[in-house]
Chain A
Amino acid sequence: AQKVTQAQTEISVVEKEDVTLDCVYETRDTTYYLFWYKQPPSGELVFLIRRNSFDEQNEISGRYSWNFQKSTSSFNFTITASQVVDSAVYFCALSEADFGNEKLTFGTGTRLTIIP
């Protein structure tokens, strides 16, 4: 069975600080996909990134970066120079590489609050 753990329930940081959201996953599959979604107060989940299990390169997109380490089964998300608009609930998710079947297993989410 697949499992995603986001141990940090809530994090608060002062604006412009860096913050890392942790994600640890469990799966028996050798091929899988990892995702991060953002849920702002409006409620709609917004896709941030997808990573497949064969690609361990770190990724940077503006102030966002992701660190994927298969050795520790982790897929951590860092926001650099945080801004108030980054306040949201962030979900890490995992899917099997069962082509055409894209159901996701989600973590419990981390509520991030950026204090102005």
Chain B
Amino acid sequence: DVKVTQSSRYLVKRTGEKVFLECVQDMDHENMFWYRQDPGLGLRLIYFSYDVKMKEKGDIPEGYSVSREKKERFSLILESASTNQTSMYLCASSPGGKNNSPLHFGNGTRLTVT
């Protein structure tokens, strides 16, 4: 089974802090994604990566950056956390290729910015 592991289940940070959310997958997947989930808004794509050192903006990239130095690891960075970034963050991975395979999700990190 594919395992997508997010380093923290719950995180509390202060406004202005630099925050790192880490995600690791163990199935050699090409693609990795960061979504945020908010009530009434569903899941919205922040950034994704289809290869090491490659990144693409999703629908709501403002205030975020990402890093993919190794294939298995995809980090989401909040350069200066703000209260409107309080949310549930979900990491996902997929094999890539021609079949639009389903995404495999981690358990999520619930971030609170105070």
Q: Which A residues have a C-beta under 8 Å from some C-beta of B?
A: 6, 9, 33, 35, 37, 42-45, 47, 50, 52, 91, 93, 95, 97, 99-109
Contacts and interface: CB of A to CB of B under 8 A. Distances in A.
Interface in B53-84: 58
Chain B interface size, under 10 / 10 to 19 / 20 to 34 / 35 or more: 20 to 34
A104 B46 CA distance: 11
B61 to A, nearest CB: 12
B31 A100 contact: yes
Interface string B80-105: 00000000101010101110111111
Nearest to A48: B102
B50 A101 contact: yes
A60 B109 CA distance: 33
A81 B40 CA distance: 27
A93 B108 CA distance: 18
